[in-house]
Amino acid sequence: MATKKIPLHLACIENNDTIFHMLLDNGAKVNAKNYMHQAALHHAVSLENLDYTKYLLNQGAEINITNKKGETPLHITSYSNDSTSFLYLLLNDGANIDAQDNKQHTTLNYAIMDGMVQNVSILLDHGADVSLGLGGNYTPLHLASELDPSLNDDQYCAIKIIKMLLNKGANINKRTYMQKTPLHLAAQLGLTETIQYLLDNDAQINRIPFYKFTPFHSAIHGDNAQSLEVLLYHQQEKTQQKKTYH
């Protein structure tokens, strides 16, 4: 039964080593949940306390325990400024890398949406599924193709992430339930560098979805003249190449 205030949780939050260890050494329930269904392990990870996280795991904390949002401790690493050590620790201890929360998001999805290139690399190296879709059949590549390059200090984070996903076998022409490919999404948002990278990696420029929208239509719909310019230039180049070869 979930309770509102749990001594072990308070010890984690207050960073009180003495009480934290005393409670666990005297039989405190390591997986007890509060009203948000959070366990002590969720708190330790979210507060970036690596020592507490290790100790809780050694005391039998359930590594894939979920909170009210369906988030595991691995999901919580997405909110951390220094999550690399936690990713390695949890993954090496057997965390389910493809666990989905109530919104069907995996840790990989959150790392992508935050433009966290290093975290994406770690997750992919540990076998994160690049084809696992969420609501609307959005894959990690769709999410990366919508990534704003100004999201963080690395203006090329989107390209780096897309490259990693493609290297792991992501389908560049995968459609959402609305029949949009990653190229459609990038074109509508005016992400010209992403558009160019997708085109350079064989994204289909004339892919026609159910609603008869090609990436050209998406660019116009998004009122993005620069997107349209990149698409038209690419198509003209392809047309010229065909004429040259024939």
User: Which CATH number does the domain 1-72 belong to among 2.40.30.10, 1.25.40.20, 3.10.20.30, 1.10.287.1080?
Assistant: 1.25.40.20
pLDDT at 236: 75
Query: Which residues 6+ apart lie within 8 Å of 193 measured at CB?
Result: 149, 156, 158, 159
pLDDT at 238: 66
Radius of gyration of the chain (CA): 22
pLDDT at 136: 83
What is the rounded end-to-end Cα distance, in angstroms, of the chain?
A: 73
If DSSP codes are grouped into helix, strand and coil, which group holds residue 237?
Answer: helix
pLDDT at 228: 78
Task: Name the DSSP class of 146.
Answer: T
pLDDT at 209: 60
Domain ranges of the chain: 1-72
pLDDT at 218: 78
pLDDT at 242: 59
Query: Mean pLDDT per segment of 10 residues, for the chain of length 246 residues?
Result: 78 98 98 97 96 98 98 90 90 98 96 93 97 90 93 88 98 91 93 95 78 74 77 72 57
pLDDT at 1: 45
pLDDT at 144: 98
Angle between helices 225-245 and 192-200 (to 10 degrees): 20
pLDDT at 207: 64
Place of tokens 């696992």: 132
Burial class (CB in 10 A: 0-12, 13-18, 19+), 201: exposed
User: How many CA atoms does the CB half-sphere of 43 hold within 13 Å?
Assistant: 26
Are residues 187 and 215 in contact, defined by beta-carbon separation less than 8 angstroms? yes
pLDDT at 221: 74
pLDDT at 241: 60
